[in-house]
């Protein structure tokens, strides 16, 4: 299934993508599950497919505004440099040498939905893109064994883990501010559940800027697997339904070019995995 959160006719809701339309689940389940996050917390995903089978869409996709798939997750736990990117970091990849994740948190407000504008703030000219596959957690777990970890994934979405590179260098061991400017990245267009997309499947990820291919890789080249990440993260924090884990970006980000190719107002970034979809956003200059 493809599950989305969206705004239609001024009302925030969530539903199942059916062809070029969407079946409104809040209309049918709102008394029990007002949001997709509530549905995940209740462990009720299995109720949805038989419920919507044969239903006609309530809204054409063209008439809704897609939001990040899960609104207000408890945690957005981002993984850094989880592909071999030595050429961009001018040295050895720290995950490859240490075996440990590079990690940081993002706020929900730093990520917008599909086709919503990404903001270039007046404080920096170094807005960069990072195309990533993101996991959405489906059930609570702590100290999850690696051989059970894939069972905790509810589904997949795409992330443009946008950042302000100069603000990431304001502190020696600190990237938080550069990763959390309001609306500097995106998440979407929807969540594809694991009954449709097997977590063991090798996925092909591309990122284009104004149609130019910048990133092109497969998940077989990740250093730490989904299971590695879930086992490691759950060792120190309890994973909750709806938590989002962007799993790292490959070579090809703007900072890796000489000179760097920073995003400008009017640029269009498209991140694609065929089994998930396309996450598209235009860059807009934010007014001070």
Residue 53 lies in domain: 2-66
Q: Strand, coil or helix: what is 45? A: helix
pLDDT in tens, 54-71: 899 999 999 999 999 999
Distance separating alpha carbons of residues 137 and 150, to the nearest angstrom:
10
Supply the pLDDT for residue 85: 61
Q: Do 39 and 77 share a domain, yes or no?
A: no
| CATH number of 194's domain | 3.90.850.10
Do 17 and 102 lie in one domain? The reply is no
Residue finishing a domain among 51, 66, 81: 66
Domain finish residue from 48, 66, 84:
66
Residues 249, 251: Cα–Cα separation, whole Å: 7
pLDDT digits (tens, 9 = 90+) for 214-248: 999 999 999 999 999 999 999 999 999 999 999 99
Final residue belonging to a domain, choices 30, 47, 66 = 66
Same domain, 189 and 177: yes
Same domain, 84 and 55: no
Residues 182 and 247 in one domain: yes
Per-residue pLDDT tens for 103-158? 999 999 999 999 999 999 999 999 999 999 999 999 999 999 999 999 999 999 99
Q: Are residues 60 and 184 in the same domain?
A: no
One domain, residues 22 and 154: no
Mean pLDDT, the chain, rounded, equals 93
Same domain (yes/no): 11, 27: yes
184 and 114 within one domain: yes
Q: Provide the number of structural domains found in the chain.
A: 2
Same domain, 268 and 128: yes
CA–CA distances in Å: residue 20 to residues 17, 29, 62, 77, 94: 7, 22, 8, 31, 43
128 plus 245 within the same structural domain: yes
The answer to whether residues 189 and 243 belong to one domain is yes
Separation between Cα atoms, residue 160 and residue 134, nearest integer Å: 10
**CB contact at 8 A, 102 and 80:** yes
Assess whether pLDDT exceeds 80 at residue 46. yes
């Amino acid at each position: 299934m493809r599950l989305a959160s969206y705004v239609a006719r001024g009302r925030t809701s969530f539903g199942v993508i059916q062809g070029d339309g969407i079946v409104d689940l809040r209309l049918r389940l709102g008394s029990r599950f007002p949001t997709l996050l509530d549905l995940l917390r209740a462990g009720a995903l299995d109720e949805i497919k038989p419920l919507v089978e044969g239903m006609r869409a309530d809204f054409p996709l063209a008439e809704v505004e897609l939001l990040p798939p899960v609104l207000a997750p408890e945690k957005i736990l981002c993984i850094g440099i989880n592909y071999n990117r030595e050429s961009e970091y001018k040295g050895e990849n720290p995950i490859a040498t240490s075996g440990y994740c590079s990690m940081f948190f993002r706020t929900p407000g730093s990520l917008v939905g599909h086709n919503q504008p990404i903001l270039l703030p007046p404080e920096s000219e170094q807005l960069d893109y990072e195309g990533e596959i993101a996991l959405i957690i489906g059930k609570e777990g702590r100290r999850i064994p690696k051989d059970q970890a894939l069972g905790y994934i509810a589904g997949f979405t795409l992330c443009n883990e946008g950042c302000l590179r100069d603000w990431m260098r304001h502190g020696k061991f600190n990237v938080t501010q550069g990763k959390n400017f309001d609306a500097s990245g995106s998440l979407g267009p929807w969540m594809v559940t694991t009954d449709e997309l097997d977590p063991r499947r090798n996925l092909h990820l591309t990122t284009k800027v104004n149609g130019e291919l910048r990133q092109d890789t497969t998940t077989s080249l990740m250093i730490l697997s989904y299971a590695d990440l879930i086992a490691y993260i759950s060792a120190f924090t309890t994973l909750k339904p709806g938590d989002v884990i962007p799993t790292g970006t490959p070579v090809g980000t703007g900072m890796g070019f000489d000179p760097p190719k920073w995003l400008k107002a009017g640029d269009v970034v498209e991140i694609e995995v065929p089994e998930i979809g396309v996450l598209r956003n235009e860059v807009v200059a934010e007014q001070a």
